[in-house]
Structure 1
Amino acid sequence: MELPLVSIIIPIFNSEKFISGAVESVQKQTYTNWEIILVDDCSTDNSVSIVSEMVENDRRIQFHQLDKNSGTGVARNFGLSKASGRYISFLDADDLWKPEKLKKQLDFLLKNNLPFTFSFYDWINEDGELLNKTIEAPKKLYYWQLFFCNYVGNLTGIYDANYFGKIEISSSRKRQDWMHWLSVVKKIKSAQAVPESLAYYRIRTNSISASKLDLLKHNFAVYRSFHGYNLGISLLCMSGFLFTQLLIKPLYCKNS
């Protein structure tokens, strides 16, 4: 039986330090029927020259460049438009997959007749060193839980395009991954996680530079703009979000 093709969309912006590692982590997958779609969002470093060399050496890799810097959501949507695979997945240029990531997730999908799954993941620092933290999630994740907290690590999600179609991603520069998985899970009411860590999420020094207030504004915008709630309901939702972030989600952050 022919193995289904998996499309892996990787947006790039000034990622010269990490992009080789991200691509190589896909090339090391034990599941080999995949395509990588790299989309450069007008990098000003050496990312393009690094990627161009990798494309020449592996026909499974596509490379595209946007005309202007437009943000991760737009880059992912462009990659989505070029995807040919039955299964759609995402990887950021500074993150990594473990070698059996795709195989274990596809086996899980097929065994349980599911259109979508995700997994746990580990934290690494900017130098790729383990931070001894594994981020878990409810093994059965209901929409209402995802509504108050994004338990789906974007680097771990994979869905069946035959079931969902290609789901458009918000062009918002922040929180578009949360909105995307909300759209996925809303269609199926609940999702099941592969209950093990299959990827490495890199904690960047510049990724925590935004103020707490700015982060709250972006999360509030999900309720106000994406869900379309009025001010009062959005504030009520934010109280549930904060409760979950402060008291519930830390329970899923485990020492490893």
Structure 2
Amino acid sequence: VYNSAATLGTAVRSVLTQTHSDLELLVTDDQSSDGSMDLLREFAEQDERVLPESAPERGGAGRARNLAIERARGDYIAFLDSDDMWLPEKTEKQLAFAAEGDAPLT
């Protein structure tokens, strides 16, 4: 996340309303100056699955994603940009497809 307060709420809510709810939402704020981190903290107070962290210094999208990956505890990782959103059944359908098709997801 970098200065994405205007679109961040929609992105976060699209993850939190997934039909497959066993997930963690790892978000790295890349030193935003627009209140993005404050918004993430509000979401974290309301839902324990939201795990925001501020990057120690601005490093770009790749570095922010790598910092989040380092904190991941689940078996799978999916990316979502702060100006995008997931349809409600996205993770459920992807996991079902992977299981049924014996897809090489590791």
- Give 1:70's aligned residue: 59
Q: Which structure shows the higher strand fraction?
A: 1
Deviations along 1:16-56, one digit per CA (max 9) or x if unpaired, are 00111001001111001000001000001011111110000
Counterpart amino acid of residue 20 in structure 1? G
Q: For 1:111 and 1:70, how far apart are their aligned partners in 2?
A: 38
Counterpart amino acid of residue 34 in structure 2? D
- Give 2:2's aligned residue: 13
1:24 pairs with one of 4, 13, 28: 13
Matches within 5 A, 1:1-256: 12-116=1-105, 160=106
Q: For 1:65 and 1:50, how far apart are their aligned partners in 2?
A: 12
Q: For 2:104 and 2:92, how far apart are their aligned partners in 1?
A: 15
Q: For 2:4 and 2:92, how far apart are their aligned partners in 1?
A: 27
Q: CA deviation at 1:57?
A: 0.5
Deviations along 1:32-90, one digit per CA (max 9) or x if unpaired, are 10000010000010111111100001001111111211000000000000000001111
TM-score normalised by structure 2 residue count: 0.97
Counterpart amino acid of residue 74 in structure 1? R
Number of residue pairs matched? 106
Provide the secondary structure at the position in 2 that maps to 1:96. Answer: coil
User: Any unmatched runs of 5+ in structure 1?
Assistant: 1-11, 117-159, 161-256
Counterpart amino acid of residue 83 in structure 1? A
RMSD, aligned α-carbons: 0.7
Q: For 1:109 and 1:71, how far apart are their aligned partners in 2?
A: 30
Q: For 2:18 and 2:12, how far apart are their aligned partners in 1?
A: 10
Q: For 2:35 and 2:68, how far apart are their aligned partners in 1?
A: 20
Q: CA deviation at 1:93?
A: 0.5
Provide the secondary structure at the position in 1 that maps to 2:6. Answer: coil
Counterpart amino acid of residue 31 in structure 2? C
Task: Compare relative contact order (CA 8 Å, sep 6+) and give the higher one, 1 or 2.
Answer: 2
- Percent sequence identity over aligned pairs: 39
- Give 1:153's aligned residue: none
Bigger Rg, which one: 1
